[in-house]
Structures are given as structure tokens and as C-alpha cells.
């Protein structure tokens, strides 16, 4: 294998925007085995559970410090009527999950179960309200039910259903994919509805809601522009809040083929490896261009950008329900995730939250559970989240990369090294990915502004590009201590094996 040298210049004493921990958020939709058989096994399950919530799934997600969880969808959100999911479970009405497998949903996992899950996880709830088939009153009453603490009608109903104290709900979605499954609306239609619905998602008591309106599908910059025009007070004083909603969403998935044949999760060529990573790197362009539109109307950055659906979307595993979106998760998925995080870190002044799709058993999951044996497997993507946890709420550092080789794939130039860094409490974390399928790299870290008093590196890689974890081989792709790091005249040298992800933790003088 050949080795080439790359330089990364990092000024450790020039912190930038805060990398919100909420960039490491997750998504749980009523889809396939994400909720039922993933998070929710029921109180009578032989699997260890807490009030029906699977205990080892909770423990795994707590380990990666899950900051928030988006629910109940996704497309499911705009068919979901929250009153169907409260009260005694055996009395809850059934519904058809028309988007995902055309299966019957019994609503045994509803509002109380979700809020219980968030409390067990220590995660902030992000509730997606129903704009597509719901009403303004329905959404207004849901936030009252959740967060009001007096004798209002909805607070009384919550108490009757067993919850005395209100919950804290900091994030609220005003619909989902209104341009598609959430109503097939035009941008002008949705902008008016978003203003209306947001008005009635009220702050009750001490609960303060951050309202997130449906933003663009991938590169629909016209949608972003029209919604930005709908805001009040954007170009006035920097301390004057935006209204009536506070953020726009963005959805973008990585795949190597068209929607009808998105590519295999585990059977792919080197060319498809590069194509997937080039399409993941496209997130940088999307963020730059949407941010440019937003900056024109919002120079004080009052409005956040929330990438609340992202990740890989492959063909389902053979033999599984095509509507359940169950896919395997390989080393390639891990590097797709790391590439996204580098882009999110660079845009931390505007990108305030992100939610990978999805947490358990669906798309680019953190955790896979075996429906027959109950075995739990941590995916390669899970390990990237864990290795990056020191970036949470740290200050972004600019990484100036030099002499980075690249490859053309899918009409785009893909740099073969991706990096980002942050600093917090006299410690820094540098994240480095070698996207080259075959060749190793050595990166010289030109570290300026602080002396380094201690260092530690970890590596995530495997012999094969399509390596993945299974119940029989749960650690085929797992982090290990990395010894390919040594002093350099300007800081440190770090060896990056082919197709690898490396994090370097630094203690600063």
C-alpha cells in the first residue's frame, strides 16, 4: 500500500461557533422494527425492560450521550393523531400505517411511552406535529397536554392518564415533508400554514418551544428562500427574536442509485464506495447554499437550520419487508456519518441540530436487534457517534487541509481526507477520515496556539470495505487504540490506514 502525506493546520487558540450536542440527535419513527421490536418490547417481554422499553437499547444510546430524539415521524407523523395513543393501551384505537408496510398500528406506544423513553435516555423530546391531516386545535392541545401545569382541560386529561407533572418539550416540528408525504403542498401554501400552526404551539408555564418548520428537500433552494421571506423581524436588531417559528429543516439521504434501486448495503464495488462518499460529501454544498440563502434574509442568524433526516438509504436486506427499511450497516456507512459530521461542525453557526435516520433497525441505525434471538448489535455508525462525543458543545476549530489527494466520482471531486476539530475545557478532539479504499495516509497535524501535554488516538477500520457487525461477529468493526501517532516538528504525525476513521484526543497546556 502506498502512503502519502497531508498537512492539517489547526489554530487551537482560535475557537469558533459552538458545536451543539444536538447535532448528534436521533430519529425514531413508527416504521418497521424501530419502535415495536426495537425500543418497545412490552412489559410482558422476556427481554429485560423498563415499563416495556428495552433496557439494553436504552443503555447503548445513553453511552453515546443521545441528546434528543425525534418522534413519531417522518411520514407517519402526518397520519398520527395523538389522542389515539393515550389512555389504557387495550382501549386505544387502531390505525393503518399506510406509509410503512401497510400494517395495522395498535398505538400501544404513544405520548406517555415516548416521554418515558426520553426520560430514561436523558434525551430532549423533539415532537413532530401533524400538519398534513391534523388540525391547528389538535396540535395546540397536544403541547398543552404535554407541558401545562394547572387545571386546564388538557393538563387535567394528562393527570387522569397517570402523569401528574408536566413534561419539558423543547423542540417541536411543524409538520414533516410538506412538499411530499406531508401534504404535497406548494411552498406558498406551507409558509402560511407554518405561521398559523406555529402561533398555536404555545409556551406554557416555563416550557419554551423551539419551533421547526418543514424546510427543503435536498437542493430545493427556492423553498428555503420563500420560507425565509415569511419570517418577521429578521433584518432588525440582533436581539429581536424571529417569529413565529425559529428554524427550518433539511432532509437529504445518501444512496448510489435511483429511488427504485438505491444500491446494496453490503454488496458494492470500490466505485460504489467512492460514489457513496462523494454523495455524502455533497452535504457540504447543500449547507453552504442553503446558508447563503438564509444569510441574505437573516444576517444575525436568528433562524436555525435543522438537518432532521440524513443518512444512507440502501435497498432493504433480502427477505425482509420492503416497507420496513431494514438494512445492514458497514464501515462505508461509518465514513458517510463522519463526513456529515465534519460538514455539520464547519457550519455550526447555522446548523443547530441534526437527526440521523434512524435510531434502531431502520436505515442507518445505531443499533440492530435480531427478531428471533433478541441479540443486540452495535453498528459501525454507532461507534462514530461514540468516538465523536467530545465534540458535544465544544467550540469548532478550523482545519486547513493541504496536499489532499482526490478522486472524481459521480461528477464530483471527492477529497480523500476529511477532518474537523473542536476545543473545550483545555482539551481538543481532532477527527480524521481516510476515504481512500486502498491507500494509507499520514497526516501532519500542524498544531498552533497551545502546547500539547498528552495525547491519545483511536481508530475504526476493518480489513474489508463492507465489514459489518452481526450477532455472530459483534466486533468485526469496533474502535481500538491507535498507536500510529508520534511527535512532529510542528505538532504530531498521525497514520491513517486505508478506509479508516481516527480520532485524536489532546490535552492542552
CATH of 73-328+346-356, one of 3.20.20.80, 3.40.50.620, 3.30.910.20, 3.40.30.10: 3.20.20.80
| Omega of the bond leading into 244 within 30 degrees of 0 (cis) | yes
Annotated active-site residue 309? The verdict is yes
Least confident among 140-144, 298-302, 455-459: 298-302
CA distance linking residue 261 with residue 314, whole number of Å = 8
pLDDT score for 230:
87
CB within 8 A of 469, min separation 6: which ones? 329, 368, 377, 378, 379, 380, 475, 476, 477, 478
CA distance linking residue 90 with residue 405, whole number of Å = 60
pLDDT score for 238:
73
Q: Are 428 and 391 in contact (CB under 8 A)?
A: no
Q: Are 122 and 304 in contact (CB under 8 A)?
A: no
Q: Which residue has the higher pLDDT, 484 or 244?
A: 484
Please write the tens of the pLDDT for every residue from 149-199: 999 999 999 999 999 999 999 999 999 999 999 999 999 999 999 999 999
Query: Cell 489532546 maps to which residue?
Result: 506
Q: Are 101 and 324 in contact (CB under 8 A)?
A: yes
pLDDT score for 235:
64
pLDDT score for 476:
98
Section 396-400 average pLDDT: 98
| Catalytic option among 29, 284, 309, 386 | 309
Q: How many CA atoms lie within 13 A of 265 on its CB side?
A: 24
Distances (CA, A) of 359 to 61, 305, 317: 9, 21, 17
Residue 138 has pLDDT above 80, yes or no: yes
Please write the tens of the pLDDT for every residue from 437-475: 999 999 999 999 999 999 999 999 999 999 999 999 999
Bridge partners of residue 18, in order along the sequence: 395
Work out the pLDDT band at 3, boundaries 50, 70, 90: low
CA distance linking residue 138 with residue 141, whole number of Å = 5
Work out the pLDDT band at 242, boundaries 50, 70, 90: confident
**Which 8-state DSSP code applies to residue 239?**
T
DSSP secondary structure of 61-84: HHHTT--EEEES-SGGGGG--GGG
Work out the pLDDT band at 233, boundaries 50, 70, 90: low
Residue 261 has pLDDT above 70, yes or no: yes
| Catalytic option among 29, 144, 177, 386 | 177
Single out the residue of 245, 183, 182, 187 nearest to residue 213, CA to CA.
245
Bridge partners of residue 493, in order along the sequence: 444, 486
Section 34-49 average pLDDT: 97
Least confident among 2-16, 105-119, 200-214, 334-348: 2-16
Please write the tens of the pLDDT for every residue from 422-442: 999 999 999 999 999 999 999
Distances (CA, A) of 462 to 243, 333, 381: 48, 13, 13
Q: For 141-246, where are the E strands, in sequence order?
A: 171-174, 210-217
Residue 497 has pLDDT above 90, yes or no: yes
H or E element at residue 138: helix 136-147
CB within 8 A of 309, min separation 6: which ones? 27, 74, 249, 251, 252, 253, 355, 357
Bridge partners of residue 427, in order along the sequence: 424, 507
CA distance linking residue 222 with residue 167, whole number of Å = 37
Work out the pLDDT band at 2, boundaries 50, 70, 90: very low
Q: For 192-287, where are the E strands, in sequence order?
A: 210-217, 247-254
H or E element at residue 224: helix 221-229
Q: Are 216 and 290 in contact (CB under 8 A)?
A: yes
Taking all residues of the chain, what is their mean pLDDT, rounded to a whole number? 96
DSSP secondary structure of 397-416: E-EEEES--EEEETTEEEES
Residue ranges per domain, the chain? 73-328+346-356
The rounded Cα 170 to chain-centroid distance in angstroms is 17
Query: Cell 430514561 maps to which residue?
Result: 120
CA quadruple 169, 175, 176, 177: dihedral sign: negative
Distances (CA, A) of 484 to 334, 356, 487, 499: 20, 31, 11, 15
End-to-end CA distance of the chain: 37
Does this model's pTM top 0.85? My answer is yes
The SS3 of residue 441 is: strand
For the chain, percent of residues with pLDDT exceeding 90? 95
Work out the pLDDT band at 4, boundaries 50, 70, 90: low
Please write the tens of the pLDDT for every residue from 52-89: 999 999 999 999 999 999 999 999 999 999 999 999 99
pLDDT score for 236:
67
Pairing of strands 440-448, 124-129: unpaired
Section 285-314 average pLDDT: 96
Single out the residue of 431, 499, 7, 442 nearest to residue 274, CA to CA.
499
Dihedral of CA atoms 141, 145, 149, 152 in degrees, nearest 10, equals: 50
CA distance linking residue 429 with residue 40, whole number of Å = 35
Single out the residue of 129, 212, 117 nearest to residue 167, CA to CA.
117
Annotated active-site residue 113? The verdict is no
Amino acid at each position: 500500500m502506498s502512503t502519502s502525506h497531508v498537512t492539517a493546520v489547526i489554530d487551537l487558540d482560535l475557537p469558533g461557533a459552538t458545536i451543539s450536542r444536538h447535532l448528534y440527535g436521533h430519529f425514531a419513527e413508527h416504521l418497521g422494527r424501530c419502535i415495536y421490536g426495537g425500543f418497545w418490547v412490552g412489559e410482558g417481554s422476556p427481554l429485560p425492560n423498563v415499563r416495556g422499553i428495552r433496557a439494553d437499547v436504552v443503555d447503548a444510546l445513553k453511552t453515546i450521550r443521545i441528546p434528543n430524539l425525534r418522534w413519531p415521524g417522518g411520514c407517519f407523523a402526518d397520519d398520527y393523531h395523538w389522542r389515539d395513543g393515550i389512555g389504557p393501551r387495550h382501549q386505544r384505537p387502531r390505525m393503518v400505517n399506510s406509509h410503512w408496510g401497510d400494517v395495522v398500528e395498535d398505538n400501544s406506544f404513544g405520548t406517555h411511552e415516548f416521554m418515558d423513553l426520553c426520560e430514561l435516555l436523558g434525551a430532549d423530546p423533539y415532537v413532530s406535529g401533524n400538519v398534513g391531516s391534523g388540525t391547528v386545535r389538535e396540535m395546540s392541545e397536544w403541547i398543552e397536554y404535554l407541558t401545562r401545569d394547572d387545571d386546564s382541560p388538557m393538563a387535567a386529561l394528562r393527570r387522569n392518564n397517570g402523569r401528574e407533572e408536566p413534561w419539558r418539550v423543547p423542540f417541536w416540528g411543524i409538520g414533516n415533508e410538506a412538499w411530499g408525504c406531508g401534504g404535497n403542498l406548494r411552498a406558498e401554501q406551507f409558509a402560511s400554514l407554518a405561521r398559523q400552526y406555529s402561533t398555536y404551539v404555545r409556551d406554557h408555564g416555563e416550557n419554551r418551544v423551539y419551533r421547526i418548520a418543514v424546510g427543503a428537500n435536498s437542493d430545493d433552494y427556492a423553498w428555503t428562500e420563500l420560507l425565509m421571506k415569511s419570517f418577521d423581524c429578521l433584518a432588525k436588531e440582533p436581539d429581536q427574536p424571529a417569529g413565529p417559528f425559529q428554524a427550518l429543516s433539511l432532509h437529504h439521504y445518501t444512496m448510489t442509485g435511483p429511488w427504485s434501486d438505491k444500491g446494496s448495503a453490503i454488496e458494492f464495488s470500490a466505485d460504489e464506495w467512492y460514489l457513496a462518499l462523494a454523495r455524502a460529501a455533497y452535504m457540504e454544498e447543500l449547507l453552504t447554499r442553503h446558508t447563503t440563502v438564509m444569510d441574505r434574509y437573516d444576517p444575525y442568524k436568528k433562524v436555525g437550520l435543522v438537518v432532521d433526516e440524513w443518512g444512507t438509504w440502501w435497498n432493504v436486506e433480502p427477505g425482509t419487508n420492503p416497507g420496513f427499511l431494514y438494512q445492514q450497516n458497514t464501515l462505508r456507512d461509518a465514513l458517510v456519518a463522519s463526513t456529515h459530521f465534519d460538514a455539520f461542525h464547519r457550519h455550526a453557526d447555522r446548523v443547530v441540530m441534526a437527526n440521523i435516520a434512524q435510531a434502531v433497525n431502520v436505515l442507518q441505525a445505531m443499533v440492530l436487534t435480531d427478531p428471533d434471538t433478541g441479540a443486540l448489535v452495535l453498528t459501525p455508525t454507532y461507534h462514530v457517534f461514540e468516538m465523536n462525543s467530545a465534540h458535544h458543545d465544544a467550540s469548532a476549530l478550523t482545519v486547513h487541509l493541504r496536499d489532499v489527494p482526490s478522486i472524481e466520482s459521480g461528477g464530483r471531486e471527492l477529497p480523500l481526507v476529511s477532518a474537523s476539530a473542536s476545543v473545550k475545557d483545555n482539551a481538543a478532539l481532532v477527527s480524521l477520515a481516510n476515504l481512500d479504499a486502498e491507500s494509507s495516509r499520514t497526516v501532519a497535524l500542524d498544531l498552533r496556539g497551545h502546547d500539547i501535554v498528552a495525547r491519545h488516538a483511536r481508530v475504526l477500520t476493518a480489513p474489508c470495505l463492507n465489514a459489518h457487525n452481526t450477532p455472530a461477529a459483534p466486533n468485526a468493526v469496533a474502535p481500538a487504540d491507535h498507536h500510529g501517532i508520534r511527535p512532529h516538528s510542528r505538532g504530531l504525525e498521525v497514520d491513517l490506514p486505508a478506509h479508516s476513521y481516527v480520532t485524536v484526543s489532546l490535552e492542552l497546556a
